[in-house]
Amino acid sequence: MKPITITKSCQLKADVLTVNGCEEPFDFKELVADASLRRRMSRIVKMGVACGLKCAEDLPSDSIDGIVTATGLGCLGDTEKFMESIVVNNERLLNPTPFIQSTFNTIGGQIALLRGIHSYNVTYVHRGLSFESALIDAAMQVAEGRRNILLGAVDEITASSADIQRRLGMTRDYELGEGANFFVLNAATPGSNQTTVVDIDTRSGKLTDDELSKLIIEMAKRNGINASDLCVVANCNAATTDSVANRLSLKNKPLPFKTCEYHTLSAQALDFAINNSTANNTLIISDYQGINHSLILLGRI
Amino acid sequence: MEELIEKLKGELIAELNLEETTPADIDAEAPLFGDGGLGLDSIDALEIILILERNYGIKIENPAQGKEIFYSVKTLAEYITANQKK
C-alpha cells in the first residue's frame, strides 16, 4: 500500500486530553457551546466528540473528506439505559434520548453535525479489529484521492459491562480500559518526525508465536525492511513479546505498551508509537483476548 | 399546586438531563419551548409525554392541546391537577 501520513494525533484518557503527545487544557463546554446538545451526550459521546473536535480544529470543514470511526461496543451507557427502560417499563413508554444516542455511529455523526462536514462517514464495529478496519478504510480513502480523513476510536467502561466481562473471565490478564483517540490522515509528504502508515495486516483466531513471527517477517520482506531492525511496540502480552523478539532477533528492545484491555486499544498503541518511537520503522503488534491480532507497520523519515 | 410545580421541575431536570439547571433557575410561568425559557425541543416534548404517562397516568388524547398544556411548568401542573389518575 501507498504510505499514508498521520499529521495529527489526539488522545483522551482518564479525563486528560493530549494532542501530539502534549497535555492540553480540556473544557467540554468550550468545545460544544450548545447546552442542549451537550446535555444529551453520554460520557463516551463527550469523550469521542471532544477528542475528534480537538484533532480536527485546525482543518477547515470542507477539507475533511471523511470521518471514519471505530468502536468495539459503542455507546454502552445509553444502550444499557435503553435496555433497562425496556425491562422496567414492560416494553412500553421508552425514552427516546438513550435510543437515539445508543447507536454506534453517534460520535462520527455528532462531529459531522457540529463541524458541518457533509462527507463520507462510516463507523466500524469489528470487535478487537474495529480500529484496524477503520484504519484500512481511511488509508484506502486517502489512496483514492480524498484529502484529510479524520480517523478515530472510542470505547467506554460501564459498571454492568465490566461486571459481565469479569464474570466471563475476560479480565484474567489485564484490567479493562477505555479511551478516545483521533488522528488526521492524508497524502501529504511526511515532514520530519511525522509518522506514516506503511502496512496493515489482521488475523482472527488463535495464532502461535511462530505463526505471528512468520507474518511479521513476510510484512517486513514485502516492504523491503529487515525484520530484526524493527522497533516493536508490544500491544500484546509479555510472553508473546519475548518470544517474537527472540524469533526475529530484534536489535532493539521492544517497547512494552499493553497495561489494560479493550477492543480499540490499538488506537492508543498507535498514539503511543507516534509519540514514543523514533525508529525509522515501528511495528505495533496488537492482540485482543488472544483471538484478534493485528500488525501495523509505521514509517518515519 | 406549588408542591407539584417543584416536583415537576425536579422531574424535568432529571429526565431531560438539564445538568446545568437547578429548580430555582426554572421560572414556572416561562415558556418551556423556544426562546425565552428552557429552550426545549421536540425530543424533550416526547420525554415530557412519558413523564405524564408514567408518573401521573395521564395520556394526552388530543395532540392539538399539546401546545397549551406544554407551555410552561405551571400549565403542566394545572393539567396534571385536573386530569391525574395515579
pLDDT tens string A26-70: 889 988 988 888 999 999 999 999 999 999 999 999 999 999 999
Residue to substitute from B15, B41, B49, B50, interface A, most A β-carbons within 10 A: B50
Domain count, chain A: 2
Chain-chain contact of A95 with B41 (C-beta, under 8 angstroms): no
Asked if A22 and A118 sit in the same domain, the reply is: yes
Mutate to test the interface with B, among A97, A99, A101, A102 (most CBs of B within 10 A): A97
Asked if B41's CB is within 8 angstroms of A89's CB, the reply is no
Round to whole Å and give the CA distance between A196 and A191: 10
CATH no. for residue A242? 3.40.47.10
Q: Return the pLDDT at A192.
A: 84
pLDDT of B36 over the 80 cut: no
Residues A179 and A37 in one domain: yes
Q: Report the C-alpha gap between A219 and A152 in whole angstroms.
A: 25
What is the pLDDT tens value at each position of chain A, 301 positions in all? 888 999 999 999 878 999 999 998 888 998 898 888 899 999 999 999 999 999 999 999 999 999 999 999 999 999 999 999 899 988 888 889 999 989 999 999 999 999 999 999 999 999 999 999 999 999 999 999 999 999 999 999 999 999 999 999 999 999 999 999 999 999 999 988 899 999 999 999 999 999 999 999 999 999 999 999 999 999 999 999 999 999 999 999 999 999 999 999 999 999 999 999 999 999 999 999 999 999 999 999 7
**CATH number where B62 lies:** 1.10.1200.10
A227 with A161, same domain: the answer is: no
Q: Cα A64 to the chain's mean position, in Å? A: 19
| A86, HSE (Cβ side, Cα atoms, 13 Å) | 7
Q: Which three cell numbers stand for residue B12?
A: 424535568
State whether A119 and A206 are in the same domain: no
Boundaries of domain holding B11: 2-83
Which chain B residues have a beta carbon less than 8 Å from that of A84?
none
C-alpha–C-alpha distance, residues A5 and A2, integer Å: 10
Q: What is the pLDDT of residues A275-290, one digit of tens each?
A: 999 999 999 999 999 9
Other Cβ atoms within 10 Å of B58 Cβ, number? 20
The CA distances from residue A146 to A70, A187, A195, A262, in Å, are 19, 9, 19, 30
Quick check: A96 contacting B, CB < 8 Å? yes
Do A135 and A207 have their domain in common? no
Fill in the DSSP letter of residue A289: T
- For chains A and B, CB pairs below 8 A equal 29
Which residue segment(s) compose the domain that A59 sits in? 4-186
**What is the C-alpha to C-alpha distance for residues B12 and B21, in angstroms, rounded to an integer?**
10
Hey, are the CB atoms on B18 and A39 less than 8 Å from each other? yes
This complex has an ipTM of 0.81
Same domain (yes/no): A44, A173: yes
Give the mean pLDDT of chain B. Answer: 91
The domain boundary residue, chosen from A127, A153, A186: A186
Cα of A95 to nearest chain B Cα, Å:
6
- With CB atoms and an 8 Å threshold, state whether B43 touches A93: no
Q: Are residues A182 and A200 in the same domain?
A: no
Regarding whether A161 and A95 lie in a shared domain, the answer is yes
Grid cell in block for residue A126: 469489528
Helix axes B73-83, B2-15, angle to 10 degrees: 110
Average the pLDDT over each of A24-33, A259-268, B2-11, B20-29 and give the range with the smallest value: A24-33
User: Both A152 and A220 in a single domain?
Assistant: no
Q: Do B19 and A39 touch (CB under 8 A)?
A: yes
- The answer to whether residue A40 neighbours chain B at the CB level (below 8 Å) is yes
- Same domain for A229 and A176: no
Clarify whether residues A124 and A147 are in a common domain. Answer: yes
Do A86 and A137 lie in a common domain?
A: yes
Q: What is the DSSP string of A24-58?
A: E---HHHH---HHHHTT--HHHHHHHHHHHHHTTT
B56 pLDDT more than 70: yes
DSSP class of residue A144 equals T
A88 touches chain B (CB under 8 A): no
pLDDT at A37: 87
Alpha carbon dihedral A201, A202, A207, A210, in 10-degree steps, equals: 0
pLDDT at B86: 64
Given the C-alpha cell 488522545, which residue does it identify? A11
- Triad A230, A222, A131: Cα angle to 5°: 70
Domain count, chain B: 1
Phi, psi at A287, each rounded to 5°: -150, 120
Which of B39, B47, B53 comes nearest A36 by C-beta? B39
Q: If DSSP codes are grouped into helix, strand and coil, which group holds residue B58? A: coil
Q: What are phi and psi of A139, to 5 degrees?
A: -65, -40
Report the range of poorest mean pLDDT among A11-15, B13-17, B24-28.
Answer: A11-15
